Amino acid sequence: MFTAAVLTLSDKGSRGEREDLSGKMLAEMLASIGGRIETYVVLPDDRKLIEDKLIYYADQYGVDVIATTGGTGVGPRDVTPDATRAVIDKEIPGMAEAMRLAGLQKTPFAIISRAMVGCRGKTLIINLPGSPKGVRENLEAILKAIPHAVEKLKGDPTDCAAPETLARAPEVVADGGDQRSSP
């Protein structure tokens, strides 16, 4: 179970000129893995506005996941990845790579998506393309990893480095962080 915000970036959508099927699909897919959609908003492709919303949802609202749809291309009004990059602490490049790799199975044009994934504090921020088809194909590629990432972001104490076997002792001696050999 995790909380989520859905943010649709679309000039037309924000003027009420288009139904936001992508945002709806995004919300449904997140719900399917235990996401509770706390808030949903449609914004124009305005970088400053997007940055402000991402910061607000992460810092004030404190949702576990912010998922965006739209504005991931290379057009003059596509600024979602740039806004995302500006507000994240850490990039998680493998999640974006996995989405592009999945997209590439469907269309050679998938490689121009600049969708970014990263975290701000304990909030995971995921960019998805603007079409419902793009949302579905891309999100499916990373869906299983989202709850896991959310847990890790929160500082899940599970020990990732649990040894496979303790039978073999290491022969190399650790210096325990001693800085003697350093300047």
**Under rule CB under 8 A, which residues in 114-133 are in contact with a copy of itself?**
114, 119, 122, 124, 129-133
SS3 for 141-181, per residue? HHCCHHHHHHHHHCCCCCCCCCCCCCCCCCCCCCCCCCCCC
Among 43, 83, 88, 126, binds a copy of itself (CB under 8 A): 43
Q: Which is nearer to a copy of itself, 1 or 157 (CB)?
A: 157
Tell me if 17 contacts a copy of itself by CB under 8 A: no
Tell me if 152 contacts a copy of itself by CB under 8 A: yes
Among 34, 48, 62, 97, binds a copy of itself (CB under 8 A): 97
Helix pair angle (80-87, 47-55), 10° resolution? 40
Of 47-86, binders to a copy of itself (CB under 8 A) are 49, 52-53, 56, 60, 70, 73-77, 81-82
Tell me if 105 contacts a copy of itself by CB under 8 A: no
Q: How far apart are CA 166 and CA 40, in angstroms?
A: 49
The DSSP H or E segment spanning 23 is helix 21-32
Q: Judged by CB under 8 A, how many residues of this single chain contact a copy of itself? A: 95
**Contact in structure between 99 and 56 (CB atoms under 8 Å):** no
